[in-house]
Structure 1
Amino acid sequence: MADQMENIYWKQPLHILSESTQKVVYLFAKMGWGKTEIVRQWLEEEKHPHYWIDCTQRTTWGSLRQWLALESPENCCLVILDSFQNIRNAERLTELMAEIKASPRACRFIIMSRTMVPSPLRPMMIRRELKVMGESELSMDRAAVKAYLAQDNIQTTDEEAAEIRAISGGWPMALNVIILEIKENGGSPIRGCHYVHSRRYLYDLIAEEIYLPLGGDLRRNLMLLGMYETFDEEMAAVLMDVENPRPILQDILQIGSFLTEFEPGKYHFTPFMYYFFMDRRERCDQQQIYIEANRRLGCYFEAKGEYVSALEAFYAYGLYEEGIRVLKMVLSRPPDSDVYYEMEPFLEKTPALCVERDPLLCYSMAMIHSLNYRVAECKNWYDRLLALEAEGGWSAEDLKAIRIAVIYGKIAIPCVLGDRKVIRPLLEGAALIRSGVNLFNGFTVTGNQPRIMAGSRDFCNWCHHARLLEKFLKRPLQHLLGKKAVGIVDIGFGEKSYQEDDLDTCLIHAAKALADCEGGGTLDTLFVAKALLAQGLVARGKLVEAKSTMLGFRDRLVEEGGEGLLRNVMVFRIGQSLLEGPNPGAIEWLEDEGIDESMAFHTTDRYGYLIKIRALLCSGGVERALPLIELIHAYALDYKRTYNVMETLVLKAICLHKMGRMTDALAALETAITMARDYGFIRVFADEGGGILPVLEALPKGTREEDFVKKVTEATRVFQEQYPKYYGVQGKLDKGLLTNAEQVVLGQIATGRSNVEIAELLSVSLATVKTHINRIYHKLGVKNRTQALIKAERLGIIENG
């Protein structure tokens, strides 16, 4: 066992204890966490002469003085001072200081402390007459905890050992308590690692030995800071309501068990101590001081514009009035940023009656469910909003707010109304704008063609009545959208012309829209105009010129605050790159940016998913592409996006053809043709070039000879000739579909290593390994390791055996 103790528990401090030491004198003030036992094991193994002195007893320093006096420069003596914070007798501390100063030069002194060093000894630390060994050097790591438990015939997984270490802090005494509870539970680790009795015992011990002996002000500050596991000095100042928190934090840092300064000015509580403070607060009847501290902190974050942190502070202690104020401020903005999604948990924590009676909150619940592709929940909350409007008895001001939310929902939430019924809400919204309402300037205009950007409305109805809608809606849209209306009409006509394969007219409208947007439009409409121009040029076979339309645009977005568009610009460029052949890095980049089917689907990511589908089809990943196509197709049906329905049917036909299912591919294509014929859309097929051309040519003779299908086939053939490498990869899934990191992880799975072992071998976190494995499963269409290895061998991704 002694060898185990040396190898497992004392990797860090052994070099301090082993340097030419002939004798060890161990002075301890009180038995406690298990350090004494660990040192005793080591000393017995090393066979050093050692002496034990309990300084809490009426011990004189005579024996120590005698041992020290006998030492010569050749014979080092190590004096270990353990837990001296428990010595309250100033006279004994003075005697100790005198002995240290009078000791031979060969003697070295180390203080082992989990809490602050007694103030009389601190000057000796500064003069380096006394070394300090802190908690991080003494406690066991995960592997050591696992081995320690195994000595009592308790077998644990790596994850169970890690959780037990978090509860125990890695100290033998705390582990002994947990071992007793495990044995009382039948000898197996407790599911979920709750260890309620052990936690209570350890928390009480911490309170008695470390926390309660501290001064009242220090205890109060620790409880306030302990509301957050990680914080900086500005947060500390707000929580403690002081101008300069650093002296207090420095005092706390001397208490090694509590706090760590992991970066200059940034602090972290160990999980064990963080949960200790949480337990103390729950049992404390003075909750008002924590409420006020969180109110101060919430206001501090609100002033800094860190709204999620502000809401976390407010909601931690039920400060709903302040929280709802911040919540409504964020939700009044366009839902075009990640922070909008982060409002959902706070909406759910808000008292239900507050949400149901507030039109903005009620509408926002509908919008967030819509963005997260939860159609039933979206309609449920919008119905509650309509019920508010029908309820009656509202003041004129309240009724106006409800009407604004209702109209906003009709325009902005696709699954509420199809585009066939959107004209009246647009006119009503414009009328409200003219009456002085400013809410609607939050709309994000992203153009009509769904392939260009996420968030845009379907435009099939526009194409049927373009001139009529322009006449009636141009001015209302200007009222409704303000600056964002600049260029929008020409973009609409340009996209209509593009889909009808009237490329000359498309390019004229695109150029006009681009000039208008440059002269006074917004960045998002400017992007759409650039993208429309680029697509027209691509259809003309001018890919190099098309790529130049986006040159320098990314830098401009950063300079002018348009970072939210950067991802879509990159996705657009990836789509262009596929025309020149498979792009090995495209799928990995898209997944790193959140376009990952193993995660929740957000409707505003649909453009990224459509490009990812094409990237998969171009690289041979047909089995993985098909469920994605079905996902976007179902979304398009639910949200009444007719264009996306046609687009996904075309992609499905390509995918099924590549899978050898020509009958099913023809059925999907014929459905798409039936829909597109009604609108005269040609480019929805033609832009897929060599991917869809074989399916078009396999249509029944009667269908192939229709005028519309002839136009589609001819335009598609031209595109295939312009870009022969687009969809050029045929056959089975290959190694290129897995990223380099995923291939490495798959190789480690093949060796039989566990997730934890793979993480340690690759020096990455366990969460990263699990993410790679989930992506591998999705890509291979499997559910476990065995299936993944069988499928990977069959596809040639890894060698057989």
Structure 2
Amino acid sequence: MDTKQILERPALYESFERELLNKKAIYISGHTGWGKTTAVLDWLEKTHKSYVYFSAKQEDFFKKINQIADKLIVIDDLHWITQPEEEQLIVSLMTMNADSRFVLVGRSVLPAYLKPFQLTGQLECYNQEFLCFDRSMISDLLALYQLTDPFLPAQIEMATKGYTMGVSLLVNRLAKGEPMSTQTIERTRIDIFDCYDKMLFQHWDSNLQKFLLHMASFDKFTEDMASMVTGKKNVMEIITLALSGGSYLTFIPPHTYSVHPLFHQYLTRKQRLVCSKDFIYATYHNAALYYELEDDIENALKYYQLSDNTEKISELLILNSQRHPGNGHYYETETYYRALPKDTILASPELMSGMCMLCSLCCQPEESEYWFSELEHYGEQLEKQDKNYKFVQGKLCYLKISLPHRGSKHITALLLNVAKTYESGAFRLQEFSVTSNLPSVLNGGKDFCAWVRHDRQIYRLMKKPCELLLGRYGVGIADVALAESLFEKCSSDNLTEVMMLANAGQNAAAFKGTLEMEFAAIGILTRMMLMQNNLPSAYALLDNMRNRAQKEKMKGLVDNIEAVRTKFLLMEGKNDMALLWMREKAPDENEHFHIMKRCRYLTKVRCYLTTGKYINALQLLGRLLDYFKNYDRTYGQLEAGILLAITQYRLGQDGWQKMLDDTLVRCEYYGFIRFAAEEGAALLPLLQKVTLSTSEKYAELILKETRHYALLYPNYQKPKQVLTEPLTDTEKAVLRLLCKGLSNDEIAELMGVTLRTVKFHTGNLYAKMKVKSRTQAIQNAADLL
């Protein structure tokens, strides 16, 4: 059977012809098995072109190319050219032969020395996607083998992803009578790997072979990771060699190298076949050590587990239990905590404390209390002189304060008692973050709404005990908490004291405290900027904070900073940028519901409301409210209650009036205005239609403050317009021209129609869009074009 007939690609050949009419060269890339050379030679023969062919792996290659001046020059195996002087010869050849055209074929992405030709429009690139076998080509191939099952083309395409070698080898097996089955596909995969052995691995430098066997277990790595896994300092030299040898390895800026999935499978199999168990375990251990140093606890645990190192797993889980939930890795390590034998946990106060916190974070308060009681029992068995006694008492005090499910009842008395005991030297308290990476103290690790009604007295009473008890995590806490309380209660014309307190708290946290507390202060300052229509300054503050948090590898803090930033984008009506966050970075509440992600969930609710996904918003709010109620989080209940009323209103449900009224009555009790008013244009229509049970003074104030935000940000959560009757193509064309500022006369002239016709179409437009003017039509056009 004629292979070239089988591999013919007419559309690709036409593209080659078209590009070489105006450009000096084309470059076809793809790793082994994509049919690069076959496609090029078949094209040249089918079009009866006169050409000269060279392979860069020929011994006399450089001697021969210096003697040519043909019109069409094919240079294959370009990946063999690795030395600077060799690269310069190719560049000189292409530059000096002005009338020649070049067809270049190689396994790697476009080499750096050829990029100037691409940048100046002289070279066109074709990667392996252009060589992919589509379903039609697979059908033609099957027909040549007289395989007529109509389902085969789709099955083969799915199994091979159009990879030419895979298609060819699989079809050959089917032609010999093998069924289309999982076993046949697996045998074909082994066939491909055998080809890789003969065509690639056996020809590579021994250093490259050793490097790839070391890194075989990893589909992604960095230079630092490769250096630690291999134990070699000069890995960049080998990585560069691997990059030039084929497109099996791809560089992903700024620091990551990604291995092609099929080639990764090949390397993993190769490693299992030729390497000892000790060798493989050593690579896992070194990778785990790298991830541990990078504070990537999840991956560190993964590879310690693969290396069967249970001692290191316990050690990391113990270290993790000493962190507060905001910067710990409780969710990421849950599987490993729960895999520990019960006796192992009961023998370690650190692990009991870790399990206690983990269960509370996973909304399992009964299990959390079980581990708390076991830790208490453990402490009761110790003598006061025992070196572990103070340690266990410190753990118990920490959990009494910090366990999320215990809420905030009696928190003032508890903090004062613990501070008094702590001051006596009875124990050492582990790190405890009041904010849990949120831009708030009142609504941070604990809910402190109970302090709001007596904030100035609480400020004087709790300032020193909190700063003493919390250490650097408490630096600035009193000023930030009072600033936040006053801000939530004050009107838009009384902000001086809030500003002074927030700045004082920020400065204290920046100099002697933590980024978490500084973020809480910045949360207040940026909301003040929101109130004053100064979002550029707010973004600058948030971006600076994000950069610093990224340098400190504080992912939880970075995630919440981006959620706050997204909320501000929604306020401005910059929905495309906000929805990009929702698609790419927002947590998936349906996969896992993690209470530490509540700030991001609430921003996601606002994204749902903006996109008209009201049922999604309702579902997520239901889960949030259940958590807020069970964990005694008043602030969260009130914020979610406002958003729930807006959701019900937009769904046309009667319950929105009661939900809004009940929520605002509770807000008045605490004096809260700000976070409700910030819903601005989304909340204003509801306030204008409801009679509140609050005092008249409060009702007037909340309406005034909400209107303030609505006027500043009229496009916030603006419902997407859905027409009962769609616009025609002509009406869309007219609307686009309206948006560009053209007059009716100019539109008529441009479209070649009469003025009367344009007015007819604009009239239809206005009716369908339910607007009365050109200005309103332009404002609503974004949803329709």
TM-score (norm 2): 0.65
Query: 8 Å contact 1:613–1:629 — kept in the other structure?
Result: yes
Q: What does 1:395-474 align with in structure 2 at a 5 Å threshold? A: 396-398=386-388, 400-420=390-410, 423-424=413-414, 427-428=417-418, 431-432=421-422, 435=425, 440-445=430-435, 455-463=444-452, 473-474=462-463
Contact 1:115 1:210 in 2 (8 A): no
Q: Helix, strand or coil: the match of 1:588?
A: helix
Aligned-residue offset at 1:634:
2.3
1:170 and 2:161 matched: no
Give the conservation status (yes or no) of the 8 Å contact 2:638–2:667: yes
2:695 counterpart SS class: helix
> Per the alignment, in what secondary structure is the counterpart of residue 144 of structure 1?
coil
Deviation per CA, 1:641-685, whole angstroms, max 9, x where unpaired?
A: 1232233333333443444434x1232234335645665656676
1:12-27 matches, within 5 Å, as none
1-structure distance, mates of 2:628, 2:254: 50
2:487–2:498 Cα contact (<8 Å) kept: no
Distance 1:426 1:357, change over 3 A: farther
d(CA) in 1 for partners of 2:260, 2:157 = 16
Tell me, yes or no, if structure 1 residue 553 matches structure 2 residue 541.
yes
Amino acid in structure 1 at the alignment position of 2:277: Q
Pick which of 151-160 and 319-328 moved more: 151-160
Q: For residue 489 of structure 1, what is the aligned residue in structure 2?
A: 478
User: How many residues align structurally?
Assistant: 672
2:633 is matched with which residue? 641
2:156 equivalent to 1:197? no
Identify which of 700, 711, 730 aligns with 1:725: 711
Deviation per CA, 1:484-542: give whole Å up to 9, x if none.
4344335445555555669999864663453354355645445544655776898xxxx
- The answer (yes or no) to whether the contact 1:494–1:505 under 8 Å persists in 2 is no
Structure 1 stretch 101-110 or stretch 408-417: which is displaced more? Answer: 101-110
The residue aligned with 1:336 is 326
Aligned to 2:759: none
Equivalences for residues 360-379 of structure 1 within 5 A: 360-364=350-354, 367=357, 374-376=362-364, 379=366
Distance of aligned partners of 1:288 and 1:472 in 2 relative to their CA distance in 1, 3 Å threshold: same
Identity %: 20
- The 1:442/1:284 distance shift into structure 2, 3 A limit, reads farther
Give me the whole-angstrom Cα distance separating, in 2, the residues matched to 1:258 and 1:534: 46
Q: Deviations over 1:266-289 (max 9, x none)?
A: 765443332122123334571112
Q: Which runs of structure 2 are paired with 1:99-498 in the superposition (5 Å)?
A: 133-135=105-107, 143-144=132-133, 146-150=135-139, 151-152=141-142, 153=148, 155=151, 161=157, 163-165=159-161, 170=165, 173-176=168-171, 179=174, 184-185=178-179, 187=180, 190=182, 195-204=185-194, 206-207=196-197, 211=201, 219-245=209-235, 269-283=259-273, 286-303=276-293, 310-311=300-301, 313-326=303-316, 328-329=318-319, 332-336=322-326, 342-344=332-334, 358-364=348-354, 367=357, 374-376=362-364, 379-381=366-368, 383-391=370-378, 396-398=386-388, 400-420=390-410, 423-424=413-414, 427-428=417-418, 431-432=421-422, 435=425, 440-445=430-435, 455-463=444-452, 473-496=462-485
Describe the shift of the 1:410–1:625 C-alpha distance in structure 2 as closer, same or farther (beyond 3 A). same
The CA deviation at 1:449 is 9.4
Aligned CA distance change for structure 1 residues 686 and 180 (closer, same or farther; 3 Å): same
- The 1:554–1:213 alpha-carbon spacing in structure 2 relative to 1, beyond 3 Å, is closer
Alpha-carbon distance change, 172 to 597 in structure 1, aligned in 2, over 3 angstroms: closer
Q: For the structure 1 residues 283 and 481, does the alpha-carbon distance in structure 2 shift closer, same or farther, using more than 3 Å as the test? A: same
- Gapped regions of structure 2 (runs ≥ 5): 22-32, 94-101, 109-125, 143-147, 724-731, 733-779
1:650 corresponds to which residue?
642
Name the CA distance, whole Å, in 1 between partners of 2:425 and 2:228: 43
Q: 1:691 to 1:402 in 2, by over 3 A?
A: same
Deviation at 1:388, TM superposition (A): 4.0
Equivalents in 2 of 1:266, 1:138: separation in Å?
21
1:237-279 alpha-carbon deviations (Å, 9 max, x no partner)? 4433344346666776786597677899976544333212212
C-alpha distance in structure 2 between counterparts of 1:111 and 1:448, whole Å: 59
C-alpha contact (below 8 Å) 1:410/1:425 kept by paired residues? no
Partner of 1:6: 8
Q: Distance in 2 between matches of 1:422 and 1:410?
A: 12
Q: How does 1:526-675 map to 2 (within 5 A)?
A: 526-529=518-521, 531-532=523-524, 543-544=531-532, 550=538, 553-554=541-542, 557=545, 584=575, 587-588=578-579, 590-591=581-582, 594-595=585-586, 601-610=593-602, 613=605, 625-662=617-654, 664-672=655-663, 675=666
Once the two structures are TM-superposed, the CA of residue 729 in structure 1 deviates from its matched residue by 7.3
Relative distance call for 1:438 and 1:588 in structure 2 (3 A) is farther
Q: 8 Å contact 2:213–2:267 — kept in the other structure?
A: yes
Letter in 2 for 1:296: N
The residue correspondences of 1:47-66 to structure 2 (distance < 5 A) are: none
Cα distance in 1 for residues equivalent to 2:247 and 2:521:
60
467-476 vs 198-207, which deviates more? 467-476
**CA–CA separation in structure 2 for the residues paired with 1:275 and 1:630:** 43
Distance 1:13 1:537 in 2: 55
Kept after mapping to 2: 8 A contact 1:427/1:476? no
Amino acid at match of 2:8: E
* Matched letter for residue 582 of structure 2: E
Q: What does the per-residue CA deviation read over 1:334-392, in whole Å, with 9 as the maximum and x for residues that have no partner?
A: 44359775545665677776566544455445555655xx413x653553353244256
User: Which whole-Å CA distance do the structure 1 matches of 2:5 and 2:51 have between them?
Assistant: 24
Q: Structure 2 vs 1, CA of residues 317 and 351 (structure 1 numbering), >3 Å: closer, same or farther?
A: farther
Amino acid aligned to 2:169: A
How far apart, in 1, do the equivalents of 2:478 and 2:663 lie?
27
Q: Could you say if the C-alpha distance between residues 355 and 127 of structure 1 is closer, same or farther in structure 2, counting changes exceeding 3 Å?
A: farther
* Distance (Å, rounded) in 2 between the aligned partners of 1:477 and 1:270: 53
Tell me how far 1:433 sits from its aligned partner.
7.1
Indicate conservation of the 8 Å contact 1:111/1:131, yes or no.
yes
Give, in angstroms, the shift of residue 407 of structure 1.
3.5
3-state DSSP class of the match of 2:532? Answer: helix
Residues 1:357 and 1:174: Cα distance change in structure 2 (over 3 Å): farther
Residue identity opposite 1:375 in structure 2? C
> Residues 671 and 447 (structure 1 numbering): CA distance in 2 closer, same or farther, change over 3 Å?
farther
Provide the C-alpha distance between the structure 2 equivalents of 1:102 and 1:286, rounded to a whole number of angstroms: 49
- Distance (Å, rounded) in 2 between the aligned partners of 1:426 and 1:458: 17
> TM-score under structure 1 normalisation?
0.64
Q: C-alpha root-mean-square deviation of aligned residues, in Å?
A: 5.9
Which one of 715, 720, 740 corresponds to residue 701 of structure 2? 715
Cα distance in structure 2, aligned partners of 1:447 and 1:240: 37
Superposed CA offset, 1:706-749 (max 9, x none): xx532321222332554553796799942599xxxxxxxxx9xx
In 2 relative to 1, CA 106–463 (structure 1 residues): closer, same or farther, beyond 3 Å?
closer
Partner deviation per Cα, 1:561-595 (whole Å, 9 max, x = no partner):
5876677567657767877x755457426526734
Name the CA distance, whole Å, in 2 between partners of 1:676 and 1:445: 21
| Cα contact 1:446–1:528 (8 A) shared by 2 | no
Q: Which residue of 2 aligns with 1:511?
A: 500
Distance 1:126 1:731 in 2: 58
Separation of aligned partners in 1, 2:569 and 2:42: 65
